Amino acid sequence: MNTDEHRWLRPSRGWPALSHRCPAAVPVLPFPCSAFSSYLCLSVFICGFFFFSAPSARADDTHYQNQLIGERALGLGGAFTAVASDPTASFYNPGGLAMTLSASVSASLNLYGVEHRIVHGGFVSYINGARETADLETTAFPTIPTTFGILRAFGERLPDGSRRHALAFSMLIPDQTAVAFDATVGTSGQTDLDVFRLSEDDRTLWVGPSYAIRISDDLAVGVSAFVAIRTWSRASFRSMETPAEPPTAPPTSEFFDLERVDAAFDSYDLIFRLGAMYRPLPGVRVGLTIGFPSIHIYGDGSLSKQLTYARFEPPLEYGDMQLESASSLPATSFDPLEIRLGLAWEPAEGMLVAFDASYHLPTYSSYERIGLSQADRARVSFDDLFADQVERRGVLNANVGFEWVIDGEWPLRLGAFTNFSAAPPLRPYQPGLEKIDIVGGTISAGYNFEAFAINVGFLGSVGWGKAQALNLVGDPTYLERDARYDLFYFFISGAQRIVAETLENWITAEPEPDDAEVE
């Protein structure tokens, strides 16, 4: 093929293109000063370990239940708003912290999983003069530490054995996945070749304190304040080559194009969660949590674009390489208002049925993940599949769980949940976010020792929906494609006994005065 035959290879955005006893919280006063200082140093270290040692992953801007927090909550399918009986209450319902019976320590809950995604016909190529398609498919094996924390109850002791106040500090990873697509049309050195790669890495860490107070024997309220730290990066690569006809040894090329676009940002946001727990009847709990819209603190993004092209057919032999970049760009990550309502019922001793319904409001106006000025847009641009403007629709999700503690020592849990997409409908002339609705189920079993619990379990989820493929020739610019998502996690918790017992000893290093002494 000659150069003229490839003049249709132009981008849509300008030439040239290819184009449990669970996890979660950390202590507070009253502590001896030296113990608190030692704990604080260790907690900061663990926080950094969680964030920087966790494997890169992709969270998206359209789902809210990609990852269930906490071993007991995970076993219950995320139906935990009206249960909230351990440190993960700082996330599900801060009011539940005031209904715990003692101080609690929980170390990391590790998830070991297999994640598979496929977009059928997601890569469209005209390298051979006619349309050819290839599937975009990826499989990853993530290992994710999801929580660490300590809860401290203090103050007046109530008739049920709990304390009036509770204070916690939590380190949570509520979202983390990975994507690395790869597709090829043609064979190097023998036929026209078109290669496409797309990877996106995303991880989020929530860090912050929580406080709860028991208003009465049956009512508690609490609040959590988290700093949400999100690190995101994306790399898009496309290369096209046409070899000489007939092939020579070594092969020579008539035409070559390569484009690579890299984008990244770090975002820091403040998120408040207000929760209430109420017991209207014995064995019945009602929970309500309001997650307020995130408050943006700071964001820093960067974007670079590399273009290399060459024409080898005389008399048009020429080539060039262009590299443009922009840094210190404004970056934004946003969570809209969330309302979460839960109901828990204990029909018999050792049995629990729980249900949650959560609604995330729409964003009402779109936001830019990475902002580009007009001057920057004139020289550098995102890849053609990147949606720089994010819009979220309102979405309702549900969680249901069942727990049976056999002989008071062997907990068995089952759960189910939805994780519907908040993405708007895809448009034929504008890049958009994939729209995949996900459903899942969980099962776990464990043993309750005197001082800690061990649980093992499994989570499976599947999803179906739509994604886009770039259409360089013809109309429309973006084609809708069927997409599928599969995620399977195995988890084990409770192995961090030494760490938990050590921190527990620090927290209780200063004995509390007897009631007689207080009087």
DSSP secondary structure, 342-375, as one string: EEEE-SSTTEEEEEEEEEEPP-SS-EESB---HH
Q: What is the pLDDT of residue 314?
A: 67
The more confidently predicted of residues 403 and 5 is 403
For the record, the structure tokens of 289 come out as 């949590």
Q: Report residue 27's pLDDT band, with 50, 70 and 90 as the boundaries.
A: very low
- The answer to whether the beta carbons of residues 192 and 241 sit under 8 Å apart is yes
Q: What is the pLDDT of residue 48?
A: 46
Give mean pLDDT, residues 483-492.
89
Neighbours of 500 (CB within 10 A): 20
Q: Report residue 30's pLDDT band, with 50, 70 and 90 as the boundaries.
A: very low
Q: Report residue 445's pLDDT band, with 50, 70 and 90 as the boundaries.
A: very high
For residue 152, is pLDDT > 50? yes
Q: What is the pLDDT of residue 311?
A: 78
Superfamily (CATH) of domain 4-518: Outer membrane protein transport protein (OMPP1/FadL/TodX) (2.40.160.60)
| pLDDT tens by residue, 53-102 | 443 333 468 999 988 888 889 899 999 999 988 888 999 999 999 887 66
- Residue 168's alpha-carbon distances to 26, 71, 311, in angstroms, are 5, 18, 64
- The answer to whether the beta carbons of residues 477 and 484 sit under 8 Å apart is no
Q: Report residue 255's pLDDT band, with 50, 70 and 90 as the boundaries.
A: confident
For residue 403, is pLDDT > 80? yes
| pLDDT tens by residue, 93-130 | 999 998 876 656 555 566 788 889 999 999 999 888 88
The more confidently predicted of residues 129 and 354 is 354
The more confidently predicted of residues 474 and 6 is 474
| pLDDT tens by residue, 169-220 | 888 888 887 789 999 998 776 678 899 999 999 989 999 999 999 999 899 9
Give me the percent of the chain exceeding a pLDDT of 70. 77
pTM of the model: 0.82
What residues are paired with 324 via a beta bridge?
Answer: 305
Element spanning 216, H or E: strand 193-216
For residue 496, is pLDDT > 60? no
For residue 41, is pLDDT > 80? no
For residue 259, is pLDDT > 90? yes
Q: What is the pLDDT of residue 502?
A: 52
Give me the percent of the chain exceeding a pLDDT of 90. 53
- Residue 365's alpha-carbon distances to 60, 300, 369, 388, 393, in angstroms, are 18, 21, 13, 13, 10
- The answer to whether the beta carbons of residues 309 and 248 sit under 8 Å apart is no
The more confidently predicted of residues 450 and 21 is 450
| pLDDT tens by residue, 366-389 | 999 999 999 999 899 999 999 989
Q: What is the pLDDT of residue 108?
A: 54
Q: What is the pLDDT of residue 427?
A: 94
HEC-encoded secondary structure of 51-100: HHHCCCCCCCCCCCCCCCCCHHHHHCCCCCCCCCCCCCHHHHCHHHHHHC
Q: What is the pLDDT of residue 53?
A: 42
Q: Is residue 195 helix, strand or coil?
A: strand
For residue 390, is pLDDT > 70? yes
